[in-house]
Structure 1
């Protein structure tokens, strides 16, 4: 069956040619104009020797050039390799070599980094150019063909390239747009998430353009800046990670103007503390839908929905997919556990990737008996709702007892003086591991680490409360807003 991710934009351009597709600062690009830009750039790529199946890397900021280049490569029949914008030149060069990229497209402040990495890898750097005659039609692709190669964060060893197919991405964008968020051409979606990341790329960009909605881009997220965009652009749907929800809530509390058009907020990428969800909903008068997924699942896998949500969970499997909990200690086969037991979250369905590029061993370890092993620990209730307990690698074993950092974080997040908190395990000679809470206090909060330990002792079991509290000015964050636990452990040690 023929299917291309490029048809997401093509079909919306046919239906809504005059509507705004992308807002990039003061520039508004209509669907018709964006599609013509894409076809012209696709023709230039073909003229430069890019053939169907070739891989083309993108090192671009969150501007209108990203969707131009992304859909142009796909329209020409190529495979997109988005590159993490905070990598150093050596790391970018690794991605270029490993993916076999034929060229690297870059623009703006990232061009010097692109030039250095491309020279190292021996590939050409191209700029986005939308002049000349357009490509006559989209190059046909099969739904099982690779559309995008997304590189994982590489917390151990070199990053792996996850192969996402046209079928993976078109279905994920369609389910997000129609089943989960009920997007319409009247919606305005604020895209603060980096577009090289799966959440921003699929749930924000692809889903918004699939529905004919307007996508407002935010090159650099700050709480006050995003709050102003929500009001100025009359945003109806916000998508972000928990640290962004914290920043927006704080910006509003500091005197920012509350937007009046926001109807829904979508959270993913990391666990959203229920206390923060409640504060955001109260402050913004908008429902928050928390979901769950990974790069390898395109990414949406489970989601709460307006008529069927339960804060503290990540909802049920999205349409056409399954989620279950399996024995985390059985590696060569999947042994599903009964309802209510904690185990490794496993997923299967149209959203599961086609494997890791040139790494059959890693693919075989990740996809077992047709199920994708996520590495996350979770539990399902009798109605199929999934709760993420923690990453397997983040589990703390203190004195022989399992302690899940998220449970401790949820409790500490309700302390009136704590603005942000993350919990990690530190090596301890007596207990094996000790529980450490890294805390960012609210301005002028008087609490000491000892005060917080005493407060936690009254609310958590003896094996769960943190014996170590570190007061930090800020938590270390990645470009998508996730807390970097490895760096946090180093800061707390």
Structure 2
């Protein structure tokens, strides 16, 4: 980032919620230090709530001690990688803590990856140990193990931490019977062999790499962002302070709902991290299911969650939203995918939740900006984008020229750049990509946005998704926001496709709400009423579901490269 004069005091400091300082120092230098403090104070208190079962902090601590001992005895050294290949199950928290107790780095692996995708992640991380769901091992992991030199594989079933209790029926078709393999270590046997053992003491430094969190790959091959212990401690503290997370609140104790996948940076920071730092229990439901999630909010009196807008859309569209008591959820944060005014209004009407946007990336260890509680975010009059908030404590946000990288003034459209303790030092084994993305401590995000004088940030779109139709520049998000205002449209995604006359033209893919119908011509006509002539889609395809990654972000690149049904034209 080119040098600039010192920035004046941020005028947005008045917007920060009471009690959140502009300069924030984490209460613990790392989350491992925080865990030790939390366990000492809350050993017999609930740490994980899963359906109708509860695990205490003491149980999680003992299990992670036993696993850490097993890691050390298998030869794991500080700095080694331990791959975590699990769904949102309690074993995720146990494995994460065990890795840190050995000074190792947890490599977060998406359990939805197929064999070729998994090959890339494991070849990049080169883990010493892999902890995997038994249901994934035989078909996905085993064929790659010898090729990639993974020395030890530990397999576990989702319900392993709950003893002889019967698993919930909601995922009965995917739980299956426990599977034990001759060439893996069984979780339950490992825990029995090392019960009561304590690992050799290892400390971690804030600069050490806590996680390898792989970028979502929405624009290309995933890269392993090196999230540090210090960066994680800072941003977990941001969430805790910003939203006043307090498990001992006299009126309503905070309970965290883990909707975001735990292998995603938001899942670890705004989910597991909050439990580690504050002692607020976390609700884990294996994977996202709208009915199970709504039931859990009511059962456990959930107060806080971070989820993608697509998840909130699914929850608000489910019929159970009208019969469940969801009033406990007072802190509903949306990130990872665009949040438009139409969806905000729909969720408020159907579920009663006031969604607050957060903007961040894997490379910023989750939040860089957030909407303060109790504040209505503005809408950018030029782009129609709903603000994603103001910079969080410690973060500096600027807009740079997309071509030159020069700093632009307030109100200019350019690339969003972030600096602060939450920015990663780079990508694992990728010096060229690191040099391109992180320059003099500034992360060049690849997102295009506008920063107003009062500090409100607006995300316009991804730089690579810009559509050039006959010389006119079109940002897909603006068209998608209009599509979502159509009463029949549930989800929408817009891409540019080749056009002989205009070079590119706008192609919209939409899915419809249950019980509704809409023809492509009708949707095109609706857009013509609300958009300039060069912006409205000439092609509309109605599909069952739009392709998404595990965090709920719609994958536009798959729409560009995968042949899906094409609808009407205009």
What TM-score does the superposition give when structure 2 sets the normalisation length?
0.82
Mapping of residues 1-150 of structure 1, within 5 Å? 3-112=29-138, 113-123=140-150, 124-127=152-155, 128=187, 129-130=190-191, 131-135=194-198, 138-150=201-213
Query: Does structure 2 retain, via aligned residues, the 8 Å contact 1:3–1:141?
Result: no
Residues 422-448 of structure 1: CA deviation (Å, up to 9, x unaligned): 111111111111111212222343432
Q: Distance in 1 between matches of 2:542 and 2:489?
A: 10
Distance 1:84 1:383, change over 3 A: same
Mapping of residues 216-255 of structure 1, within 5 Å? 216-252=283-319, 255=322
Q: In the alignment, which residue of structure 2 is the partner of 1:361?
A: 432
Query: Does structure 2 retain, via aligned residues, the 8 Å contact 1:61–1:110?
Result: no
Q: Distance in 2 between matches of 1:29 and 1:483?
A: 34
Which residue of 284, 287, 292 maps to 2:351? 284
Distance 1:452 1:90, change over 3 A: closer
Residues 116-152 of structure 1: CA deviation (Å, up to 9, x unaligned): 3323312121244433333257511221111111122
Which residue of 181, 203, 214 maps to 1:151? 214
Q: What is the deviation of 1:369?
A: 3.2
Q: Distance in 2 between matches of 1:370 and 1:477?
A: 31
Q: Secondary structure at the match of 1:34?
A: helix
Q: What is the deviation of 1:309?
A: 4.1
Q: What is the deviation of 1:5?
A: 3.0
Q: Secondary structure at the match of 2:393?
A: coil
Distance 1:4 1:153, change over 3 A: same
Q: In the alignment, which residue of structure 2 is the partner of 1:209?
A: 276
Q: Secondary structure at the match of 2:131?
A: strand
Larger deviation, residues 145-154 vs 49-58 = 145-154
Mapping of residues 411-490 of structure 1, within 5 Å? 411-489=482-560, 490=562
Distance 1:461 1:375, change over 3 A: same
**Cα RMSD after superposing both structures:** 2.0
Q: In the alignment, which residue of structure 1 is the partner of 2:406?
A: 335
Q: What is the deviation of 1:323?
A: 0.7
Q: What is the deviation of 1:288?
A: 1.4
Q: Distance in 1 between matches of 2:56 and 2:330?
A: 23
Q: What is the deviation of 1:210?
A: 1.4
Distance 1:175 1:323, change over 3 A: same
Q: Distance in 1 between matches of 2:371 and 2:244?
A: 10
Distance 1:40 1:482, change over 3 A: same
Does 2:283 correspond to 1:198?
no
Q: Distance in 1 between matches of 2:367 and 2:511?
A: 30
Does 2:174 correspond to 1:174?
no
Q: Secondary structure at the match of 2:141?
A: helix
Q: Distance in 1 between matches of 2:377 and 2:321?
A: 29
Does 2:348 correspond to 1:307?
no
Query: Does structure 2 retain, via aligned residues, the 8 Å contact 1:366–1:374?
Result: yes
Query: Does structure 2 retain, via aligned residues, the 8 Å contact 1:96–1:118?
Result: no
Q: What is the deviation of 1:252?
A: 3.9
Larger deviation, residues 446-455 vs 191-200 = 446-455
Larger deviation, residues 421-430 vs 388-397 = 421-430
Whose relative contact order is higher, 1 or 2, with alpha carbons under 8 Å and at least 6 apart?
Answer: 2
Distance 1:420 1:94, change over 3 A: closer
Larger deviation, residues 105-114 vs 370-379 = 105-114
Q: Distance in 2 between matches of 1:206 and 1:51?
A: 23
Residues 150-202 of structure 1: CA deviation (Å, up to 9, x unaligned): 12234566432211111111111111112245343421111122111111111
Larger deviation, residues 155-164 vs 204-213 = 155-164
Q: Distance in 2 between matches of 1:259 and 1:202?
A: 24
Where in structure 1 are there 5+ consecutive unaligned residues? none
Residues 417-474 of structure 1: CA deviation (Å, up to 9, x unaligned): 2222111111111111111121222234343211111111111111111111111121
Q: Distance in 1 between matches of 2:294 and 2:80?
A: 40
Larger deviation, residues 83-92 vs 147-156 = 147-156
Larger deviation, residues 129-138 vs 453-462 = 129-138
Larger deviation, residues 452-461 vs 22-31 = 22-31
What TM-score does the superposition give when structure 1 sets the normalisation length?
0.94
Q: Distance in 1 between matches of 2:483 and 2:41?
A: 49
Query: Does structure 1 retain, via aligned residues, the 8 Å contact 2:66–2:199?
Result: no
Q: Distance in 2 between matches of 1:91 and 1:420?
A: 26
Query: Does structure 2 retain, via aligned residues, the 8 Å contact 1:267–1:289?
Result: yes
Where in structure 2 are there 5+ consecutive unaligned residues? 1-25, 156-186, 379-385
Q: Distance in 1 between matches of 2:105 and 2:53?
A: 28
Query: Does structure 1 retain, via aligned residues, the 8 Å contact 2:206–2:228?
Result: yes
Residues 33-79 of structure 1: CA deviation (Å, up to 9, x unaligned): 21122122111211111111111111112111110011100111111
Query: Does structure 2 retain, via aligned residues, the 8 Å contact 1:4–1:140?
Result: no
Larger deviation, residues 376-385 vs 361-370 = 361-370
Distance 1:443 1:82, change over 3 A: closer
Distance 1:248 1:157, change over 3 A: closer
Does 2:386 correspond to 1:346?
no
Q: Secondary structure at the match of 1:245?
A: helix
Q: Secondary structure at the match of 1:458?
A: helix
